[in-house]
Amino acid sequence: MENVFVFSAHPAFAYKETEGEFKGMMLETSLSFQFTAPSYSDAIDSAIRWANNRFGNVIKDFYSEAVFSSLKVRAVQIGPINENGGGLPSSLGTFFEWKYDWPGTLEEYVASAKKKLES
pLDDT band of residue 110 (cuts 50, 70, 90) is very high
Nearest CA to 87 out of 23, 1, 24 is that of: 1
**Phi/psi class of residue 93: alpha, beta or left (left: φ > 0; alpha: ψ in -120 to 50)?**
left
Beta bridge partners of 111: none
pLDDT tens digits, residue range 8-49?
Answer: 999 998 888 888 898 888 888 888 999 999 899 999 999 999
The whole-angstrom separation of Cα 19 and Cα 38 is 43
Say how many domains are in the chain: 1
What pTM was computed for the model? Answer: 0.79
Collapse the DSSP code of 94 into the 3-class scheme (helix H, G, I; strand E, B; otherwise coil) and give the result.
Answer: strand
The whole-angstrom separation of Cα 47 and Cα 58 is 16
Domain span holding position 59: 4-118
DSSP tag of 103:
S
Query: Side chain identity at 41, as an amino acid letter?
Result: S
**Which of residues 24 and 89 earns the better pLDDT score?**
24
C-alpha distances (whole Å) from 18 to each of 27, 57, 64, 67 are 11, 19, 9, 15
Beta-strand pair 90-99/66-78: antiparallel
Q: Where are the beta strands (DSSP E) in 2-119?
A: 4-16, 26-30, 33-36, 66-78, 90-99
